[in-house]
Structure 1
Amino acid sequence: MQFYARLVTEDKGASLLENPFVNSSKTPINGWGVLREATVSNSVRLTFYTPSNAVIGRYSLELDINGERTNVGAFILLFNCWASDDIVYLSDEAQRQEYLLSEFGIIFMGEPSNPQHVPWDYGQFQDNILDICLSLMDSTINYRRNPSEDVRRRNDPSYLCRVLSAIVNDRDDGGVIQGNWSEDYSGGTDPKAWTGSARILRSWYPQKSPVKYGQCWVFAGVLCTVSRALGLPCRIITNFSSAHDTNNNLIIETYYKVTGEPSDRGGDSIWNFHCWNESWFRRSDLDAKYSGWQIWDSTPQEKSDGMFQLGPTSQFAIKEGDVDKKYDTSFLYAEVNADVLVFIEQNDGSITKGSTDTVSIGPLICTKAVGMNSMNNVTQEYKHREGTPEERQVYSKARSLTSGAVGFVALSSAGETATAPNSDPVVSGKIIINGTPTVGDDINATLFLKNLTLANKNVTANVNASAIVYNKRVRRTVFSDSVAVQLGPNEEKPVALQILYSQYENSLTTDKMIQVCSVCQVEGWGELYVEANITLQNPPMEIKALGPAVLGTPLQLEVTFTNPLSMPVADCVLTAEGSGVTHVIHKSIGVLEPAQTISVTIDTMPYMSGTKQLLIIFTADKFHMIKNFTTIEIAEG
């Protein structure tokens, strides 16, 4: 009598990988084994053991008696972060609960000064989600090219991170999500309308047609679900002021017109924020010090080994500037710690070199805190403190490993011919946003200019404000001005700026972001560039449960919202959804008059016990997807 475990894939059945269970009289040590525990009457109880390095996936359990095979069952083998000899072992129980078992999370967006908390329903334990995740592994290009080799590597999370980061986007292999940053979402779903992963994965399967549309947090949310479903601890990271380095020199070249408007020159960019994933495992392909949190990203940005995939990249390698380590470490390093060179395009088309910035990229890198709906700042896990000798030394090391010279260097043809100021800066500047403006408010800001010398300085401050999307693509200019400022020796002067709601009302993107730029022309010296980015806040929306939450018992919730505008708001709709609490509910509200407050009752019937989240979305012609959530403890009936 011999038992076998045969790996099952969608198209090949159980033909690719077979493991015999060794009959044993004692508990097998890290191998395929079967132990007879007890015999009662004509029944026998058997315990099956699998090695810690076993290939994950769906298995058929077969019994061979005298050469005749019988299928006696099936099982699914996943990574096990509770097992100390598993490659994904995570010693902290609270982290295991958060990074593997938690079905809900928070993704941070907006600005580093005031990050927005956006809920996400991972739903890794919902019906058929694990089946879909197993199907994903059978849908990659690597599997289609060489099924036998692919399945034998499914015990290595480094390999799986790489292929899964490719299949979650649709650029190479008919993957799950089609990206769209155009603001035209016809024929699909606005990325901000997604609230969780399960609906996306179910929309992809079984036809396996890409789901329209996603942006970085959607890719990260779905990839986190897949990772947790397969037993691989995972969390979502947000990097604010995230650099996109297209030429691997760890320098971001940005171009602005002398009027303060962003120029379309150059291929590099700086996103207001970008989301990716981290998973915890041991790197078998690198030295032990590179184990721990590994970064991977399914947002299609640049090709790696000919495909839109990224990672896994050791977090430790990034902090130490070891950008020659696998995989894609130099690109990730640039995202969090590149230097920025600003170039100014003059009216005659010539280019001059502006300021050098070594601190603005990656000022805040964060994730959800363990066990709490708050933020955990992990910036110091990625890099040494900005401006310290350690940070500059690591940057120099990283530049040398990319064969780049350290210093003021441009790699574009326009940058190479640019003229530079003939001395160190003689004037400094900064833009401060007054307060925390909400959609509908006028935006008040102050440009501060300071003379750094003992001589008088004349400055012309050209100011431009544009409505942008979160990757800083400009939609429309909403404000421009030019102000002459005279500065005495060591004098600092404020320049008041105001952008009226009427100026940005019809130009505001769904990201609700305004970029304020100023090119300050210093007579006899050159140009100084300063900027500030604003993410307008949504008006508040309150959610309150009107009684205890009990499984199978009606539960009412009250949603309260006030129109803060001095004009009516039309096409108002409330949407409620939350795994375990309710399926999707839509309520049409109609028109809200100025300053009108509404209280809307939502009727739900909780269908799962435990800790759940209910998400409420309010949409209207003047407001785009105001979101809030509440955590609900659902008791057994």
Structure 2
Amino acid sequence: MDYKQQTMDYKQHTQQNICVFPGTGNDHCRLKYVNFEVAENTISHETQGLSKDILVVRRGKPFKITLMFTSDLWDPRTERLVLEVCLGNMSEKMPVQFSDKCSNPGGWSANIYHGDMHLQSGAIHICSPVLSAVGMYDLFLHIESSYHRRSYAVGSFVLLCNPWLKDDSVYMPQTSKLEEYIKSDYGQLYMGSHLNISMRPWSFGQYEPGVLEACLQLLQVSPQHHSDKNSDYIRRVDPVYISKVICAMVNCNDDLGILKGKWQGTYKDGVKPTEWSGSADILHQWVSSKCRPVRYGQCWVFASVLCTVMRVLGVPSRVVTVFNAAHDGNGNLKIEEYYSTKGEKLSLSKDSIWNFHVWVECWMRRPDLGEEFDGWQVVDPTPQEKSAGIYSCGPCPVAAILQRDLGTPYDTGFVYASVDADIIRLIVRNGQVVGRMEDTKSVGQMICTKSVNSDKPENLTESYKREKIPMMGSFAYEPMPMMMSSACEPNAMRMRCKALEVKEEMSAGLEVSLSINGEPTVGEEIALCVTVTNYSSGSRVLMEHLSAQVKGYNSSPQESFWKTHKEVHIKPGQALMLQHTILPSQYESVLAGDDIVNVAVVIKDVRTKERVLAAQEFSISSPKITIEIEGGDSVHMKKDCTAQVFFINTFKKTLNGAVLTVEGSGLLQGKQEARLAVLQPGDKIEKKVSIMANSPGTKVLMATFSHSNSPSVVCRGFQKVSVTTD
């Protein structure tokens, strides 16, 4: 029986968690019905809200079912009860014992506790082994005597990992962390750049109807399951195996996975990645389309969906952002970046650096690698490079990254490069390298996740990397051959660098830094400051070349939208501060709402030809959208509540074709809009919506504002909503 049919048949036989079955034959003892005691079991097993249709329990911990027999008495002296659990073609029988303790520590057991036995009913406590496979099990009852045997299909239940149980390989001792990394359906994603971190909430949605079923179906349609069902079931005891399978199934590159990735071009045939605010809508769309990939995802979407599935399956998980994450295409732990002598970044390398990259950490023991690698494991579902022939990364122990043990299996070298590779920055002129420096600090500038019980970021950087000894390389000024390579997705980080004249006796040279004044905001001027310090004993004539380019967080920069250059005279020991301003009119036509600006300056000594490079990347903040929930941010389930959403035009110009859109998975059906043909400076566009939640947990209400003056610039606002059952 396949998974979908199994679920459908079970739902047809369930009413308020009680399964009714007719008796068979003329024997005097027959089963009348079975109560799965859902309320009691889900509280005991920390699975409340995961499903309304089926019992969900955790491995290694007893759960209770009550058998009710017909008025004819069951005599345990002449008839014995045997329960049987089945997972696919595998099954195990367990005779019902009268005992207050687990009678079969290494296998399944079924016990009637002393004092629980009633003449016409029996409360049976079923316990699975700690090393049990995750999945949906069928349960059967056999009533056996010396002369006959009667069998009943009792129903089905779902078995998950048990991070509350010490012997489970996903055990996590801290209750507060289990609340955050298993039970919480709400998270914060950190994006932008390490100098200007932006936050957006995400609804993991594990309590939304159908999400549990979607996560189980993901296992059932995996290539591993189709290839060998029994082997797949046997290996599902291991969270290392589960995380590897799920990681590959979140992207659709090799299988019937959930999400299709896209990083540029139009998104008209799907949903733009920035428009997602939760996992439930994505999982529902995947199931309803019969496992066709959902369009589209990027790294934070892939990671958030993976986090949802792993939390549902019982593996503690959290979403982690790496700022300035390297993509080491050739595995040499070096990232090459090329710049022109005018400060323009060039797309000439196979390597790349993403302003931010998002993956997942899953908590588990690693008996396959040794206890020193227990704890958090990096699992990255974004399809970047193949691992063992499929687009999957991890589970890689964070401890192996910290120890720089690059021989550890599960993509340790690739993950290490992501957080700690070195950058080689090259200045190129006429196909030759005329300047070079090595930067050992910029990659993995900050690594963070949502703090426990707080929306503030927790800095994880020291868990991944130790302080490196600076290796500031001097520039070479004799032309060198340049190794050309294919286009990539490079990026430059803020840096402070020194260039030394290459002579027989090294003399002091120039120091250059580049900074952004304040927090750049769409519609406002961008103020830049280049600081040049002359450490030499003589005056110098310099040429300053400054260039600004727009780029996506993981893509190659476009052509410069703004340039400037001028001659600068500097005295010995002098420090000059060169101020520059980019006007809104100079960037609004090319800058999209989620883009990042790359600015670089090259300072050239006119006499010595010495060149010094400094670069900076930053994101531009959008004006705020205000979302106010009537009565506060906590609402009651299945009760109407009003939300007021508005945007005030803080720009200095009139906006045409203003549109304010409000949506929220689990709160609103579809999207609701407000439109204004003209929105004057200081005026407001607003929308009042009625929200109602049908399930408990934390939801996210999202609003977007756009206008026809600059269609690519979209402002977004988010508000988390806590739904209670009181």
TM-score, normalised by the number of residues in structure 2? 0.79
Query: Given the superposition, is the C-alpha separation of residues 553 and 69 from structure 1 closer, same or farther in structure 2, using an over 3 Å criterion?
Result: closer
- The answer on 1:76 being equivalent to 2:158 is yes
Query: Given the superposition, is the C-alpha separation of residues 476 and 263 from structure 1 closer, same or farther in structure 2, using an over 3 Å criterion?
Result: closer
Distance between the aligned counterparts of 1:525 and 1:426, measured in 2?
A: 12
- Secondary structure at 1:131's aligned position in 2? helix
Hey, what does 2:135 align to over in structure 1? 57
Hey, what does 2:662 align to over in structure 1? 576
1:27 corresponds, among 84, 101, 109, to: 101
Indicate if the aligned counterparts of 1:461 and 1:482 stay in contact, CA closer than 8 A.
Answer: yes
Hey, what does 1:628 align to over in structure 2? 717
Note the C-alpha offset of 1:430.
1.4
- Decide which structure has the larger Cα Rg and report it: 2
Distance between the aligned counterparts of 1:445 and 1:344, measured in 2?
A: 22
1:422 corresponds, among 498, 502, 516, to: 502
User: More deviation in 611-620 or 175-184?
Assistant: 611-620
2:706 corresponds, among 603, 619, 626, to: 619
Distance between the aligned counterparts of 1:487 and 1:69, measured in 2?
A: 95
Instruction: Write out per-residue CA displacement over residues 579-629 of structure 1, whole angstroms, 9 at most, x where no aligned residue.
Output: 554334412222322221234322223434555443333333336442323
Query: Given the superposition, is the C-alpha separation of residues 21 and 387 from structure 1 closer, same or farther in structure 2, using an over 3 Å criterion?
Result: farther
* Amino acid of the structure 2 residue aligned with 1:94: S
Structure 1 spans left out of the alignment, 5+ residues:
8-13, 393-409
Hey, what does 1:42 align to over in structure 2? 120
* Amino acid of the structure 1 residue aligned with 2:245: V
1:6 corresponds, among 86, 97, 101, to: 86
- Secondary structure at 2:170's aligned position in 1? coil
Across the two proteins, how many residue pairs are aligned to each other?
Answer: 605
Distance between the aligned counterparts of 1:179 and 1:308, measured in 2?
A: 12
Hey, what does 1:216 align to over in structure 2? 299
- Secondary structure at 1:85's aligned position in 2? coil
Indicate if the aligned counterparts of 2:674 and 2:686 stay in contact, CA closer than 8 A.
Answer: no
Query: Given the superposition, is the C-alpha separation of residues 343 and 349 from structure 1 closer, same or farther in structure 2, using an over 3 Å criterion?
Result: same
Hey, what does 1:545 align to over in structure 2? 629
* Amino acid of the structure 1 residue aligned with 2:649: N
Note the C-alpha offset of 1:141.
2.2
Instruction: Write out per-residue CA displacement over residues 122-161 of structure 1, whole angstroms, 9 at most, x where no aligned residue.
Output: 1011111111111111222222222222221111111111
User: More deviation in 492-501 or 624-633?
Assistant: 624-633
Query: Given the superposition, is the C-alpha separation of residues 575 and 91 from structure 1 closer, same or farther in structure 2, using an over 3 Å criterion?
Result: farther
Note the C-alpha offset of 1:356.
1.1
Distance between the aligned counterparts of 1:613 and 1:149, measured in 2?
A: 39
- The answer on 1:163 being equivalent to 2:245 is yes
Indicate if the aligned counterparts of 2:196 and 2:618 stay in contact, CA closer than 8 A.
Answer: no
User: More deviation in 422-431 or 40-49?
Assistant: 422-431
Note the C-alpha offset of 1:90.
0.8
Distance between the aligned counterparts of 1:551 and 1:129, measured in 2?
A: 18
- The answer on 1:267 being equivalent to 2:365 is no
Note the C-alpha offset of 1:284.
1.8
- Secondary structure at 1:508's aligned position in 2? coil
2:604 corresponds, among 521, 524, 528, to: 521
- Secondary structure at 1:370's aligned position in 2? coil
Structure 2 spans left out of the alignment, 5+ residues:
1-80, 472-479, 486-499
Query: Given the superposition, is the C-alpha separation of residues 349 and 633 from structure 1 closer, same or farther in structure 2, using an over 3 Å criterion?
Result: closer
Indicate if the aligned counterparts of 1:351 and 1:414 stay in contact, CA closer than 8 A.
Answer: no
Hey, what does 1:556 align to over in structure 2? 642
Query: Given the superposition, is the C-alpha separation of residues 464 and 273 from structure 1 closer, same or farther in structure 2, using an over 3 Å criterion?
Result: same
* Amino acid of the structure 2 residue aligned with 1:538: S
Indicate if the aligned counterparts of 1:574 and 1:587 stay in contact, CA closer than 8 A.
Answer: yes
Seq. identity, %? 33
- Secondary structure at 1:538's aligned position in 2? coil
Hey, what does 1:11 align to over in structure 2? none
* Amino acid of the structure 1 residue aligned with 2:622: N
Hey, what does 2:65 align to over in structure 1? none
Instruction: Write out per-residue CA displacement over residues 382-424 of structure 1, whole angstroms, 9 at most, x where no aligned residue.
Output: 1124548xxx9xxxxxxxxxxxxxxxxx998449xxxx97367
Distance between the aligned counterparts of 1:435 and 1:562, measured in 2?
A: 22
Distance between the aligned counterparts of 2:501 and 2:592, measured in 1?
A: 36
Matches within 5 A, 1:441-452: 441-452=524-535
Indicate if the aligned counterparts of 1:178 and 1:213 stay in contact, CA closer than 8 A.
Answer: yes
Distance between the aligned counterparts of 2:256 and 2:155, measured in 1?
A: 32
Query: Given the superposition, is the C-alpha separation of residues 445 and 371 from structure 1 closer, same or farther in structure 2, using an over 3 Å criterion?
Result: same
Distance between the aligned counterparts of 1:429 and 1:48, measured in 2?
A: 70
Hey, what does 2:30 align to over in structure 1? none
Indicate if the aligned counterparts of 2:658 and 2:675 stay in contact, CA closer than 8 A.
Answer: yes
- Secondary structure at 1:255's aligned position in 2? strand
Distance between the aligned counterparts of 1:208 and 1:77, measured in 2?
A: 23
Note the C-alpha offset of 1:262.
1.6
Indicate if the aligned counterparts of 2:510 and 2:535 stay in contact, CA closer than 8 A.
Answer: yes
* Amino acid of the structure 2 residue aligned with 1:371: N
User: More deviation in 516-525 or 354-363?
Assistant: 516-525
Query: Given the superposition, is the C-alpha separation of residues 609 and 218 from structure 1 closer, same or farther in structure 2, using an over 3 Å criterion?
Result: closer
- The answer on 1:108 being equivalent to 2:181 is no
User: More deviation in 290-299 or 203-212?
Assistant: 203-212
TM-score, normalised by the number of residues in structure 1? 0.90
Indicate if the aligned counterparts of 2:360 and 2:380 stay in contact, CA closer than 8 A.
Answer: yes
Distance between the aligned counterparts of 1:508 and 1:374, measured in 2?
A: 28
Note the C-alpha offset of 1:491.
2.2
Indicate if the aligned counterparts of 1:469 and 1:475 stay in contact, CA closer than 8 A.
Answer: no
- Secondary structure at 1:205's aligned position in 2? helix
Note the C-alpha offset of 1:353.
4.1
Note the C-alpha offset of 1:84.
1.0
